[in-house]
Amino acid sequence: MRALRKIIFVNSANIRYAEVKLDGNVHFIGTQGVGKSTLLRAILFFYNADKLHLGIPKEMKSFDEFYLPHANSYIVYEVEHEHGPFSILVFRSSGRACYRFIDAAYKKEWLIDEHGEVTAEWKVIRDRLNDAYPSKIIDRYEQYRDILYGNKQAVGKEFVRFQLLETNRYQNIPRSIQNVFLNSRLDANFIKDIIIRSMSEEEANIDLGYFRRQVSDFEQEYKDISCWYKTNQKGESVVRKQADAVVKAYHELLYMKQQIEELCGELRYAERVTRKRLPLIDAKIGKLMQELDRQNRLLSEVQQKHDAEKATLNQKQGVVNEKLRCTKERKEYYANHQIDVVMNRCAQEPVVKTELDALKDKLADLTASFNDVTTKYKALRQNINNQFDTFKHIQQQRILVYGQEKQNTEERLLKEYNATRAEIEQAFAEKIISAKDAIDAIKTEQNDCDKELLKLKYFVPFKEEKKALAQQQNELQLNEKALEGQIGKLKADVIRIQAEYDKKEAEINADYTRQLDKKQKQTDAVVEQIQTIDALIDSIKGSLYEWLEDNKPNWEQNIGKVINEERILYQTGLHPQKADGASLYGVKLDLMDFPLNVRKPKQLKDEKDALENKLKQARTEYAEILNSQEKTIEDLKRLFTPKIKDLRLQKSNVETELNMIPQKRKGIIVKIEDYDAKAKQIIEERQNELSNRQQKLAHDLTSAQDALEKINTDKQKQLKSVEKKHNDAKVDNVKLHAKRVAEINAETKIREQEADAELQKLKQQEMDELKGRGVNTALVEDCKAKISKADDELKYIEQNRKLVYDYKRDKEELFDQEDNLKSQKKGLAERIIQLDEKYGKRKQKHEQQITSFGKELSERREEKKRLEDELEKAERFAHDENLCPTMLAEAKEKQTLRTPGQAVDELTGIIVSRQSKHNQFKQSINVFKSNFSAKNTFSFRTELTIDEDYLDFANNLDDFLINNKLEEYRRRTSERYVNILARVSKEMGELTRHESDVDKIIHDINNDFKERNFVGVIKLIALQSVPSADKMVQLMKRIKEFNDDNQFVMGEMNLFSTANRDDVNQKAVGHLLDFMKSLTDNPSRQYLTLSDLFQLQFRIIENDNDTGWADKLSHVGSEGTDTLVKAMINIMLINVFKEKVSRKFGDFRIHCMMDEIGKLHPQNIKGILDFANARNILLINSSPTTYNVSDYRYTYLLQKDSKSKTIVHPLISQK
CA distance 1023 to 297: 134
pLDDT at residue 509, as a whole number: 85
* pLDDT of the residue at 70: 93
Query: Per-residue pLDDT for 1202 more than 60?
Result: yes
Backbone angles phi, psi at 91, to 5 degrees: -145, 175
CA–CA gap between residue 1154 and residue 180 (Å, rounded) = 6
Question: What letter does residue 1021 receive in the DSSP assignment?
Answer: E
For residue 1059, the model assigns a pLDDT of 45
Residue 1146 has pLDDT above 60, yes or no: no
Q: What is residue 588's predicted lDDT score, i.e. its pLDDT? A: 56
User: pLDDT category, 572, cuts 50, 70, 90?
Assistant: low
Residue 812 DSSP one-character state: I
Whether residue 1060 is predicted with pLDDT greater than 60 in this model: the reply is no
User: Residue 370: what are its φ and ψ, rounded to 5°?
Assistant: -90, 150
Min mean pLDDT across 44-48, 768-772, 1100-1104, 1122-1126 is at 768-772
Domains (ranges, CATH) in the chain? Answer: 3-185+1116-1213 (3.40.50.300), 207-227+966-1092 (no CATH), 480-659 (no CATH)
At CA 576, angle to CA 575 and CA 582, rounded to 5? 165
Residue scoring higher pLDDT (75 or 636): 75
What digits encode the pLDDT tens for the residues 370-396? 556 677 777 777 777 887 788 788 778
Task: Point out the least confidently predicted range of 17-26, 87-96, 885-894.
Answer: 885-894
pLDDT 10s digits, 662-709: 877 888 888 888 888 888 888 888 888 888 888 888 888 888 888 888
Residues 288, 738: Cα–Cα separation, whole Å: 74
| Predicted confidence (pLDDT) at residue 49 exceeds the cutoff of 80 | yes
Instruction: Report long-range pairs for 311-320 (Cβ below 8 Å, ≥24 apart).
Output: 313/828, 313/831, 313/832, 313/835, 314/832, 316/824, 316/828, 317/825, 317/828, 317/829, 317/832, 320/821, 320/824, 320/825, 320/828
pLDDT score for 538: 65
CA distances from 801 to 342, 357, 742, 810 (A): 9, 20, 25, 14
1177 pairs with which residues across the strands? 1150
% of the chain exceeding 90 in pLDDT? 12
- CB burial class (10 A; 0-12, 13-18, 19+) of residue 502? exposed
Handedness of CA 885, 891, 893, 895 (dihedral sign): negative
Query: In this predicted structure, which of 109-118, 938-947, 1052-1061 has the lowest mean pLDDT?
Result: 1052-1061
Q: How far is it, in rounded angstroms, from Cα 303 to Cα 308?
A: 8
CB 594 within 8 A of CB 561: yes
- Highest mean pLDDT: which of 427-441, 477-491, 810-824, 1125-1139? 477-491
AA letter at 308: A
Per-residue pLDDT at 593 exceeds 60 = no
Query: Between residues 1023 and 90, which one has the greater pLDDT?
Result: 90
Q: In the prediction, which pLDDT does 184 show? A: 67
Given a cut of 70, whether residue 203 has pLDDT beyond it is no
Question: Where does the pLDDT of residue 1014 fall: very low under 50, low under 70, confident under 90, or very high at 90 and above?
Answer: low
What mean pLDDT do residues 245-271 have?
85
* Burial class for 1141, CB neighbours closer than 10 Å (0-12, 13-18, 19+): buried
pLDDT digits (tens, 9 = 90+) for 882-933: 888 888 888 888 888 778 888 888 888 888 887 888 888 888 888 888 888 8
Q: What is the pLDDT of residue 1140?
A: 66
In angstroms, the first-to-last Cα distance of the chain is 17
342-356, 685-699, 1175-1189: segment of lowest average pLDDT: 342-356
Q: What's the CA gap between 820 and 418, in Å, rounded? A: 11
Whole-number pLDDT of residue 129 = 92
- Minimum mean pLDDT range among 77-91, 167-181, 600-614, 1102-1116: 1102-1116
Average pLDDT of the residues in 394-414: 82
So what's the pLDDT on residue 584?
A: 56
Exposure class string for 969-984: b at 16+ Cβ within 10 A, else e: bbeebbeebbebbbbb
818 pLDDT above the threshold of 80: no
Q: What is the pLDDT of residue 87?
A: 96
Percent of the chain with pLDDT over 70: 90
- Mean pLDDT (the chain) is 81
1185 burial via Cβ count (<10 Å: 0-12, 13-18, 19+): exposed
Ranked by mean pLDDT, the top range of 17-21, 129-133, 424-428, 869-873 is 17-21
Give the tens place of pLDDT for each residue, 468-518.
888 888 888 888 888 889 888 888 888 888 888 888 888 888 898 888 888
pLDDT score at 134: 93
Question: Is 388 in a helix, a strand, or coil?
Answer: helix
Amino acid symbol at 819:
D
Confidence band of 1058 (pLDDT split at 50, 70, 90): very low
